[in-house]
Chain A
Amino acid sequence: MHGTLELIHPTEQWDCTPINFPVTHHGSERQFAGAELSDFMEHVARQLSDNSENTADGFSMESLSNEAFTPSTGEYRPRKLARTYHHTSGSDGCGHAEDLQWINGTQSENVSTMTYKNNRSNDHDQQGLSLITLLMECAVAISVDNLEEANKMLLELTQVASPYSPSCAERVVAYFSKAMARRVMSSCLGGTMLSPLVQSKSILSAFQAFNTISPFIKFAHFTANQAILEAFHQRDRVHIIDLDIMQGLQWPALFHILATRPDGPPHLRMTAMGTSYEALEETGRQLSGFARRLGLSFEFHPVARKPGEVDPAMIQTRRGETVAVHWLQHSLYDAIGADWKTMRLLELIAPRVITLVEQEMPHSGPFLDRFIGSLHYYSTIFDSLGATLGCEDVNRHKVEHWLLSREISNMLAVGGPTRSGDERFGSWRTELMRRGFAQVPMSGNSMTQAQLILNMFPPTHGYTIQQGDGTLRLGWKENGLYTASAWTSPRLLR
């Protein structure tokens, strides 16, 4: 699987000159930093509660009257307000609400900016869009704890939206409503602090499918590997700490290139962290076998703990070895534990490079922020899948149901994806910078890696790479989804 993709040997000394980039979220104009998103949602909520008249000042969420949520017995046309969407659709008619423009009953001046690439009135698209309306109203109801109203809307949504629909919007609604129904029930049951159950086997299988049908995982792996390779330039004793190794799909490609280095292979140690000891052992067996076949001197240390829960003494670094720490952020389960403790661990380890791949959506914050952010995020991913795979494709269903739907459930759950109520960083990049880590810009070689990966996944015109602020961001059309960055410990700077 990795045969056609080769990492690029760095020819020059690894440049770790600290560059202080201001960390901004560029690319899409939609920002999900706390204050702005809340303003946006307040605006949305205001629109929803207006009955073609402006409410008075002093608007607050709590004052949403029941009128705005007249229990519908199945009307799927947008109610009361004329809502139009900035809408682009893929070749098979899949719709995607890219930018939600709420208009209070009148035509917007921005009519010209709304391009409906697919003008035929596609029943599925119409249905998808009106379902999104209902979904958003339901989210607002949940955010103000109006669970009874939310439940009623969910009874409708979960009876209508199909996850097998040709309309991507409808598929998204199906999974979002399921996630919200789960949340509402869990709120009613009050057992939010119990540790969530993780279904490892199905997740891993779906993760592999995702790796096959979509470039995002490979992008994360290969750009990170390139940065690690560069950090390991001319180092003989190297140590990789993978904070959430899963099956270790990332590493064989790196092993291969390390084993065939012009200046000879290093001795490689790997500390692998994960949720289950059995899974770690299996991963260790696979990787050790692979290393042995390559003639790579290899040690594997499984640590069945989260980075935020582990006793730092369990992570041993040896004098003279070069350490790389890697983390691919996801929302399948809480892989990290307490963020601030993990940061502490990173400071203690003081690695030469930290390779980080983050999902571009808020993992913390109030429910509505997470709702809007993840709706945007997953709509984008669903669109990207729908552009190449038919609506009956079994792998697509596998990924959507076992992977993305799980993430959506966690994102919308009480307490967010960690389900633990711990404080989460808004952005790891910001936090790393704040703690004095210096950003190492992603090199031209990493960019090349990213391009090569995209060439493997048609339609290449759909996936986009943005380079800026020292990061590489892979997304679909104008929406960034995963951002890869690299950092070095302040203690190592000369």
Chain B
Amino acid sequence: MQNSSYHQTTASSSTSTDPSASEKWAEKLLRECAKAISEKDSSKIHHFLWMLNELSSPYGDTDQKLASYFLQALFCKATESGDRSYNTLISVAEKIHSFDTARKVILKFQEVSPWTTFGHVASNAVILEALEGEAKLHIIDMSNTYCTQWPTLLEALATRNDETPHLRLSVVVTAAAGGSVMKEIGQRMEKFARLMGVPFEFQAVNCGFSRLGELKREDFALREDEAVAVNCVGALRSVGIKDRNGFLRVIHGLRPKVVTVVEEEADFTSNKDVYIMCFEECLRFYGTFFEMLEESFVATSNERLMLERECSRSILSVLACEGDGGSGECERREKGNQWCARLRSGDDHFMPLNFSDDAVDDVRALLKRYQAGWSLVTSQGDDAFGLYLAWKDEPVVWASAWKPSS
């Protein structure tokens, strides 16, 4: 292997050059590496992978973590072992994820950060408003937050209305969780509803890990007299890119009163054929996410570690796998304005619903409960609808509400 000039400098100045002493060193090195990969420059690829290997650590500071997880993805890309590695990682994750660990992680995450609760609060407000006065409610929940959204809604149903409506909850789990998790979730929800005095029915919709795109109307066992709300939190992105519009049509066919969509504000779709652009977006998004995690959790948090490891699988799938975003191989995120375009297109399209002042107040009140750095941004412009959660002024999560065209 040839010595690049960078290495000559390092060797001769007897290690007085510490590349990791400069700010954001990881992004710089990763960028160079990705560039080398897209240019197929073998010796440069080796050089940067080697440096990243020296400096990275999944247990160090944010730079080291980014270096570590992105290194794994870039290495798999360079050695074309992404799909194999991803499959191993997913099967490991499925084995070790119990309901208890998943619940512990998400509850802790919700305690220190509004990342997921933002979408919950916004969606619940809209759902309650849209289903006001209905006696039989059917919420179809496709989310990756293990039903942590619903206790608050159940409480609202129990306390707000004179006549507590009957609630049926159909849950499609989109995370790598598995059947045993669903059973536990169902039992917990039933228990909670009983405590709240809300007539309740729980239904698990069988769906393999991220086979969301294959769901059909029949899978939801709809009944005549119920008012339907469809709640998609972090779900649409696990539908294959080619299947997304079709999936939205299926949702349309359920004739819901309201559809809530919450997604993370990143675009790994429109640029998927230009490696370096996709890489940059990936680095931007996860750089922000990891920084947020570091500032929200204590340094030795196991929960944060699990969230980071989950990210590492996503990073690997986006940067090293060949799938186009279907059957669980890839979570190709799209930004709010991209989802808007999809939702508003075609014969079976949707119309945006505005968030009421009460809903916006609810969200603002939520953000006050967390540390500084978080803010609410209402969308500007004709093409964008919904609310954005921003971390240090950068929009990170998008929440929106829709109703089907009649």
In the bound complex, residues from chain B placing their C-beta under 8 Å from that of A276 are 14-16
Instruction: Contacts A164-B305, A189-B50 given; indicate if A155 touches B89 (C-beta within 8 A).
Output: yes
When C-beta atoms are compared, the residue in chain A nearest to B56 turns out to be A182
When C-beta atoms are compared, the residue in chain B nearest to A305 turns out to be B14
CA distance A190 to B57 in the complex (A): 20
Q: Pull 21 A–B residue pairs with CB atoms less than 8 Å apart, ordered by A.
A: A73-B92, A73-B95, A75-B95, A155-B88, A156-B88, A159-B89, A164-B305, A175-B59, A178-B57, A185-B49, A189-B46, A191-B47, A191-B50, A198-B15, A200-B15, A201-B18, A276-B15, A276-B16, A305-B14, A393-B300, A397-B300
Is B206 in contact with chain A by the CB < 8 A criterion?
A: no
Give 1 or 0 for each of B86-106: 1 = CB within 8 Å of chain A CB: 001101111110000000000
Is B270 in contact with chain A by the CB < 8 A criterion?
A: no
Indicate if the CB atoms of B50 and A277 lie closer than 8 Å: no
Indicate if the CB atoms of A199 and B18 lie closer than 8 Å: yes
Give 1 or 0 for each of A167-196: 1 = CB within 8 Å of chain B CB: 000000011001000100110111100111
Q: Among the interface residues B55, B75, B95, B298, which one has the most CB atoms of the partner chain A within 10 A? A: B95
Indicate if the CB atoms of A189 and B16 lie closer than 8 Å: no
When C-beta atoms are compared, the residue in chain B nearest to A163 turns out to be B59
Q: B15: which of A158, A195, A394 is its contact (CB, 8 Å)? A: A195
Indicate if the CB atoms of A74 and B53 lie closer than 8 Å: no
Indicate if the CB atoms of B50 and A194 lie closer than 8 Å: yes
| Nearest chain A CB to B331 CB, angstrom units | 17
Is A392 in contact with chain B by the CB < 8 A criterion?
A: yes
Instruction: Contacts A158-B58, A189-B46 given; indicate if A333 touches B15 (C-beta within 8 A).
Output: yes
CA distance A188 to B79 in the complex (A): 10
In the bound complex, residues from chain A placing their C-beta under 8 Å from that of B11 are 194-195
When C-beta atoms are compared, the residue in chain B nearest to A171 turns out to be B59
CA distance A233 to B59 in the complex (A): 48
Q: Nearest 3 CB-CB pairs, A to B?
A: A74-B95, A73-B91, A198-B15
Is B179 in contact with chain A by the CB < 8 A criterion?
A: no
Indicate if the CB atoms of B46 and A190 lie closer than 8 Å: yes
A contact residues vs B (CB 8 Å cutoff): 73-76, 152, 155-156, 158-160, 162-165, 174-175, 178, 182, 185-186, 188-191, 194-202, 275-278, 304-305, 333, 391-394, 397, 401-402, 405
| Nearest chain A CB to B262 CB, angstrom units | 27
Instruction: Contacts A160-B96, A199-B20, A276-B16 given; indicate if A185 touches B75 (C-beta within 8 A).
Output: yes
Q: How many residues of chain B have a CB within 8 Å of chain A?
A: 43
| Nearest chain B CB to A250 CB, angstrom units | 22
| Nearest chain A CB to B226 CB, angstrom units | 40
Indicate if the CB atoms of B85 and A155 lie closer than 8 Å: yes
Instruction: Contacts A73-B95, A401-B60 given; indicate if A394 touches B300 (C-beta within 8 A).
Output: yes
In the bound complex, residues from chain A placing their C-beta under 8 Å from that of B46 are 189-191
CA distance A200 to B59 in the complex (A): 18
Q: A160: which of B10, B51, B59, B92 is its contact (CB, 8 Å)? A: B92
Indicate if the CB atoms of A159 and B18 lie closer than 8 Å: no
Q: B302: which of A164, A195, A304, A394 is its contact (CB, 8 Å)? A: A164
Indicate if the CB atoms of A304 and B300 lie closer than 8 Å: no
In the bound complex, residues from chain B placing their C-beta under 8 Å from that of A178 are 57-59
CA distance A306 to B232 in the complex (A): 62
- Please report which residues of chain B, range 1-57, place their CB below 8 angstroms from some CB of chain A when the two chains form the complex: 1, 3, 7, 10-11, 14-16, 18-21, 46-47, 49-51, 53-55, 57
Indicate if the CB atoms of B18 and A162 lie closer than 8 Å: no
